Amino acid sequence: MRPGSFNANLTRRGFIAVGTGALATIALASCTPTPRFITPGGAPVGQAELARGGTGHVTRVGLVSAENQIDLAGTTANTWSFGAIPAPTIRLTAGDTLRATVHNQLPDNTSVHWHGLALRNDMDGVPGATQAPIGVGKKFTYEFVTAQPGTYWLHPHVGPQLDRGLYGALIVEDPDEPLHYDDEWVVVLDDWLDGVTGTPDEVLDELRGGMGGMMGSGGTGSHMMMGARSDLLGGDAGDVRYPHFLINGRPPADPETFASAPSKRVRIRIINAGSDTAFRVALGGHRLTVTHSDGFPVNSVNTDAILIGMGERYDVLVTLGDGVFPFVAMAEGKGDRALAIVRSGPGDTPSASVTIPELTRSVLTADALVATANAALPTRSIDPELTATLSGSMMAYDWAINGRQFDPAKPLAGALGVIQGERVRLRIKNTTQMWHPFHLHGHTYQHSEAGPRKDTSIVLPGTSLSVIFDADNPGLWAAHCHNIYHAEAGMMTILGYQTS
């Protein structure tokens, strides 16, 4: 299906959603005007893509989503994936066009979202907002210019499919890369239960049932995690119990080994592809120099460890010592970990339960970072100030934004509106007793007036985060919690560009 054919329907459905008949629509419109939004197939979307220019070079990729298996240190589990877990890293140079054909061989609808990229709206992969879902047995070709270098990733935007094996890294190289390094490694973190203790759909059902689902005859309560605590996350660290934590698809009993040599300078791109787990990462015997947050450069900061929420990415540089070192990703508040091994010289392989002191020294979060002068948004006055109030509770599982649980049948109800060209301030107000990794599609905002550029941010319980961005990418953009279970329960809304 081509962009446009679905979008006209979406617009009509969006307006029909305010009332069941023409009279009801008119009556409502007279007191609360419904904003008209630029649609994903609208001319401004195509114009924004033309303005990106591009090299004209096309990188072609085929992704087949299908029922597969994962090998967890010798035990296999059934899952859904693109084949390998993670999917083979997609790599191209900024300005190039990605043409990715997705063939859906799953027993369910799917899509692919290109997390963090400011791409053309109709390629963003959000069924109900930017495209029709890719039906069972069907294909869809995503094609867009990748304007901005950085560390990104891909995953479906349908149900809790993200909590299966359907994810991979997307690296957009800088043709004028200013950093110098000898090796580059991609580290994808994940929390895993699919095919082991159940499926993500079963987890969502149990969580939605709340205490009733846990105690009642319908559910065993086996997936719900109580008492995952983290001071760094302001209390409750997560809702879901996972039997495994993975780095690049492998559990600590069968870790990936990165081989290099002493004194080599390595760039590590770290991506949290988890669904309900923040990770605290460190490399034993080393300090990390943080160079990028969510793909965008920051003034370098040295740290021992980093706390990474779901959807966030950090790039770090390390200069390797001589020996064998554990790269540990602690599942924050959950008492378990993922592990990889860095081998630059002779030595014994560390045990799966090795402890490293770096994890409890300085732990960096985004508030320690500032965008580089090149990456920072130029100073200008703010036009509209918008608020996204996060609400809900673990017990009721009624996660919402601005008092509304997202309804895919009425995607534009409660949408936030901006006008193309505006400088927008968005206050993300967390009124809940739990942290949320808030993610805005299609834009890389800046934390307040002098913070890092990011597209996914940890918002602690009872706090507000103020971000600013330029409304320069028209379309309908999902804005949601990147805890996939919170998002599916309703903690999602749409940012739209008003036409008048």
Residues at the contact surface with Cu ion, assessed by CB under 5 A:
436, 481, 483, 486
Q: How far is the CB of 157 from Cu ion (least distance, A)?
A: 16
Token pair for residue 482?
């990147």
Phi/psi region, residue 56 (left: phi>0; alpha: psi -120 to 50; beta: rest), is: left
Q: How many other CB atoms are there within 10 angstroms of residue 77's CB atom?
A: 18
- How many residues comprise the chain? 500
Q: Which CB atom, from 239 or from 256, has the smaller least distance to Cu ion?
A: 239
Q: How far is residue 462 from each of residues 274, 390, 391, measured CA to CA in Å?
A: 23, 10, 10
Q: Which CB atom, from 318 or from 492, has the smaller least distance to Cu ion?
A: 492
Q: Which CB atom, from 184 or from 398, has the smaller least distance to Cu ion?
A: 398
Q: How far is the CB of 451 from Cu ion (least distance, A)?
A: 21
Q: How far is the CB of 432 from Cu ion (least distance, A)?
A: 8
Q: How far is the CB of 491 from Cu ion (least distance, A)?
A: 5
Q: Which CB atom, from 7 or from 493, has the smaller least distance to Cu ion?
A: 493
What is the DSSP annotation of 348-416?
A: PPPPTT---GGGGS-EE-GGG--B-TTTSPPP-----EEEEEEE--TTTT--EETTB---TTSTTTT-E
Q: Which CB atom, from 248 or from 483, has the smaller least distance to Cu ion?
A: 483
Q: Which CB atom, from 292 or from 486, has the smaller least distance to Cu ion?
A: 486
* Run of H or E including 29: helix 22-31
Q: How many other CB atoms are there within 10 angstroms of residue 361's CB atom?
A: 12
Cβ neighbourhood burial of 353 (10 Å; 0-12, 13-18, 19+): exposed
Q: Which CB atom, from 151 or from 430, has the smaller least distance to Cu ion?
A: 430
For 142-211, give the secondary structure using H, E and C. Answer: EEEECCCCEEEEEECCCCCHHHCECCEEEEEECCCCCCCCCEEEEEEEEEECECCCECHHHHHHHHHCHH
d(CA 21, CA 40): 25
Q: How far is the CB of 198 from Cu ion (least distance, A)?
A: 21
Q: How far is the CB of 37 from Cu ion (least distance, A)?
A: 25
Q: Which CB atom, from 131 or from 277, has the smaller least distance to Cu ion?
A: 277
Cβ(270)–Cβ(315) under 8 Å?
yes
Answer whether the bond into residue 86 is a cis peptide, omega within 30°: yes
Q: Which CB atom, from 391 or from 483, has the smaller least distance to Cu ion?
A: 483
Q: How far is the CB of 276 from Cu ion (least distance, A)?
A: 9
Q: How far is the CB of 483 from Cu ion (least distance, A)?
A: 4
Cβ(371)–Cβ(446) under 8 Å?
yes
What is the DSSP code (8-state) at residue 96?
P
Q: How far is the CB of 337 from Cu ion (least distance, A)?
A: 22
